Amino acid sequence: MTRRTSGAVGAPSTATGTAASSAGSVATERVVTIVLVDDHAIVRQGLRSILDREDDFVVTGEAASADEALAVVAHARPDVVIVDVKLSATGDAEGLDLCAELAQRHPHARMLVFTTYLDDHHVLQAVRAGARGYVVKDVDTSALVRAIRDVSRGETAFDARSAAAMARCLNAPKPGPAKDLTDREREIVRLLARGLSNKDIGTRLFISSTTAKFHVGNILRKLGVSRRAEAVYEAGKRGLV
């Protein structure tokens, strides 16, 4: 475990026994190494400036995308990875997929989601993906610092709103049997499985991207999920495609 030393090392002893026994002792504090993952450079810079004020925090890497994050974390092997939910303007919660991938590849790393998105399903999915905490970006600095320390110790960390969101999701009634998908919706699920965007789906099916988005929304609702990747998995599991 990385440690940072503070205080005098090898200080000369005094005449008293107590002072002599304490001279040369080294006060140590646990250092938490951190990687920042956010697609906005200004957010990463702001986070770094905040965390650099803490003597026990060391930012060892940054990444703007999931692919960059996988490489940086493999190299830096941090204690904590701070991840945003969305890592691109058009993406669909890539940060949560990244959490799951990092949890599998680097079980020593603890993930803390730090985002502007407060969605009940996102909070629950973050936990299922292996995140230890979920904090919204408008929390005060002390709350963020406390969350990082808690996560680094293997504890959980949720701000009040994130905790409430997860409670709502856990206490919500279980969805009934999924409604059957139409032939068009099954076709769209197959295209989702290939990673196509709404625009690409529209082009392939000769419909507008708005219509494609409408169909995708219906698919998510029928399957009781909130993300496209989940829709593909759920539809396959239920034999709907």
Evaluate if residue 235 carries a pLDDT over 90: no
Domain boundaries for CATH 1.10.10.10 within the chain? 183-237
Q: What is the mean pLDDT of residues 131-157?
A: 93
* Nearest in space to 98 (alpha carbons), one of 77, 117, 78, 112: 112
pLDDT digits over 60-80, tens only?
999 999 999 999 999 999 999
Residue type, 157: A
Phi/psi at 119 (5° precision): -120, 135
Q: What is the mean pLDDT of residues 216-226?
A: 87
pLDDT at 118: 84
Domain boundaries for CATH 3.40.50.2300 within the chain? 28-171
- C-alpha 230/C-alpha 126 separation (Å) is 13
Evaluate if residue 4 carries a pLDDT over 60: no
Q: CB-based contacts of 95: which residues, under 8 Å, 6+ apart?
A: 37, 66, 83, 84, 85, 86, 87, 113, 115
> Radius of gyration (Cα) for the chain, nearest Å?
23
Angle at 130 between CA 85 and CA 99, to 5 degrees: 40
Q: What is the mean pLDDT of residues 32-53?
A: 96
Under the banding of pLDDT at 50, 70 and 90, the label for residue 179 is low
pLDDT at 64: 95
pLDDT at 73: 97
The helix, strand and coil proportions of the chain, stated in percent and rounded to the nearest 5, come to 50, 15, 35
Please give the model's pTM, rounded to 2 decimal places: 0.64
Q: Are 235 and 189 in contact (CB under 8 A)?
A: yes
Q: Which residues pair with 135 in a beta bridge?
A: 114
Evaluate if residue 39 carries a pLDDT over 50: yes
For the domain spanning 183-237, the CATH number is 1.10.10.10
How far, CA to CA in Å, does 229 sit from each of 39, 189, 233?
21, 10, 6
DSSP code, position 17: H
Q: Are 86 and 94 in contact (CB under 8 A)?
A: yes
Residue that is written with structure tokens 């973050």 in the block? 126
Q: Which helix (H) or strand (E) holds 199?
A: helix 198-205
Evaluate if residue 91 carries a pLDDT over 60: yes
- C-alpha 219/C-alpha 186 separation (Å) is 9
DSSP code, position 112: E
Q: What is the mean pLDDT of residues 1-30?
A: 44
Q: CB-based contacts of 145: which residues, under 8 Å, 6+ apart?
A: 50, 51, 54, 57
Residue that is written with structure tokens 């495609």 in the block? 241
Four-way CATH pick for 28-171: 3.10.180.10, 3.40.50.1220, 3.30.1510.10, 3.40.50.2300: 3.40.50.2300
pLDDT digits over 24-37, tens only?
433 456 899 999 99
DSSP code, position 80: E
pLDDT at 45: 96
pLDDT at 16: 41
162, with CB counted inside 10 A (0-12, 13-18, 19+), is buried
